[in-house]
Amino acid sequence: MNPSAPLSRTPEAPYYAVIFTSLRTADDRGYDAMAMRMAALAASQTGYLGMDSVRDADGRGITVSYWRNEKSIRIWKANEEHQQAQQGGKLMWYSDYQVRIAKVERGYGKMQEAE
């Protein structure tokens, strides 16, 4: 991700979030190119609303992508090129990961008071 990029803004809830937590291996083969490609490919999908992604120097990462509905998440998961990337993640790039699919019910930011 572009380090100077702003935080994602999303429309009014409800919408969906996919929370992807991961630990990277030391195996860098093709990782950066895949990650950039997947970010661009996700952004081209119907129902995509945005993404926030952070990884620290120890290889611990959290990526949250935002989606209009569950259907758009299922179609993205089944995307053929994404399926290949998921296989690479399982076999090479991640020593561990967890995926959580969640319905965002409310939200607020620095400039807005919480409900």
The nearest distance, CB 85 to a second copy, in angstroms, is 14
Q: Cα–Cα distance between 47 and 33 in angstroms, integer?
A: 24
Place of tokens 């990782």: 31
Among the listed ranges 18-26, 29-37, 39-47, the one in contact with a second copy (CB under 8 A) is 18-26
* Tokens matching residue 37: 């490609």
36 lines the binding site for a second copy (CB under 8 A):
no
Sign of the C-alpha dihedral computed for residues 100, 61, 6 and 45 taken in this order: negative
Contacts of 21 (CB under 8 A, 6+ apart): 60, 61, 62, 97, 98
**Among 11, 19, 30, 43, interactor with a second copy by CB under 8 A:** 19
Among the listed ranges 27-35, 39-47, 103-111, the one in contact with a second copy (CB under 8 A) is 103-111
32 lines the binding site for a second copy (CB under 8 A):
no
Which residues contact a second copy by CB under 8 A? Answer: 1, 3-4, 6-10, 13, 17, 19, 21-23, 52-58, 60-62, 64, 77, 90, 94, 96-110, 114
